[in-house]
Amino acid sequence: MLRSRLRWACLVSVVAFLSATSVHAQLPFYTDDSDTTPKGKFHLEISNEHDWLQKTSSPAKRQNTTVFTLNYGLTDHIELGVNSPFIKIFNERSSLLGSPSGIGDTQFGVKIRVLDEREDSKLPAAAVVFYVEAATGSVRKQIGSGLVD
């Protein structure tokens, strides 16, 4: 009985492996926790992402984005923030656009922690965040949207 189950499991695994196709998916959502920077303190965060772009982005082949985020604790429950990306786009060698780089669109925001987590409560911590994106990136170089979001 055990041998037949193992054979069946192996057969299913082989069929699944051989019939696998490519899968397209959305990038993960950017997430944040409800903590805020303590009053009078700064918090600097630097992140980097390198992407191989879809064929529809041609002549762009790859993009490297480094995001600098600076937060300041206005109070223990209110945080002011600014984040700005430095973007480099790698185009096909034959492209007349070259490989542009520069500052992308900058975001300015505020986060308000409205509910702290407590050990005796079933409610999670919660915060409200509001960001405005300024059109600081070059539309001509394709590193900015040209829009205020």
pLDDT the model gives residue 97: 76
Is the CB of residue 34 less than 8 Å from the CB of residue 125?
yes
138: which DSSP letter? -
Segments making up each domain of the chain, as ranges: 29-134
What mean pLDDT comes out for the span 10-37?
Answer: 70
Residue 49 pairs with which residues in a beta bridge? 65
User: Which of the two residues, 3 and 101, has the higher pLDDT score?
Assistant: 101
Alpha carbon of 8 to those of 1, 5, 40, 127: distances in Å? 11, 5, 63, 50
Residue 108 predicted with pLDDT over 90: yes
Q: What is the pLDDT of residues 50-97, one digit of tens each?
A: 999 888 888 888 999 999 999 999 999 999 999 999 999 998 888 777
Q: Which of 3-17, 91-105, 117-131 has the weakest average pLDDT?
A: 3-17
Q: Residues with Cβ < 8 Å from 29, sequence gap 6 or more?
A: none
Stated pTM of the model: 0.73
pLDDT the model gives residue 73: 97
